[in-house]
Amino acid sequence: MSISNEVIADVVDDAADYIGKNGWNQGDLFDWKVVARGHQDHPPACIMGGLIVANRNMETGQNIAPMGELVGAFLQAAPEVESLSGWNDCVCKTEQQALDLMRLVSKRIRMEA
């Protein structure tokens, strides 16, 4: 079953909201040191970590969209990005740059809807 572009764009926007609220991370899905110190229940996340959190339906515990389809749509809408982890960890320099890419990707996906 294919998920609509609107739903995928919503997940990308929700992921950007998560990162905007909780912070951005490089080198791992989440900044586990923050959690280990007991300072935060919602740790800073890389783009993929944000997508994982945003893609989870909190009522059912199930994914909203298949992760492969979600990541595939993201990469198709961002031809300048070869891999999410590579871009997040090696190309991206700031949280704002990550958020800008995510908002651009969401907008591009919506335009295809």
pLDDT for position 51 = 98
Domain definitions of the chain by residue range: 5-112
Q: Are 85 and 51 in contact (CB under 8 A)?
A: no
Whole-number pLDDT of residue 79 = 95
Q: What pLDDT, on the 0 to 100 scale, is given for residue 55?
A: 97
- Taking alpha carbons only, the member of 89, 99, 75 closest to residue 22 is 99
Give dist(CA 72, CA 41) in Å, integer.
29
pLDDT of residue 76: 97
Answer for the pair 9, 113: CB distance below 8 angstroms, yes or no: yes
Residue with tokens 């609107």: 6
How much is the pTM? Answer: 0.92
- For helices 95-112 and 5-22, the axis angle rounded to 10 degrees is 170
The pLDDT of residue 36 is: 65
From first to last of its 113 residues, the chain has per-residue pLDDT tens of 579 999 999 999 999 999 999 999 999 999 988 766 666 678 999 999 999 999 999 899 899 999 999 999 999 999 999 999 999 999 999 999 999 999 999 999 999 86
Q: What is the pLDDT of residues 93-112, one digit of tens each?
A: 999 999 999 999 999 999 98
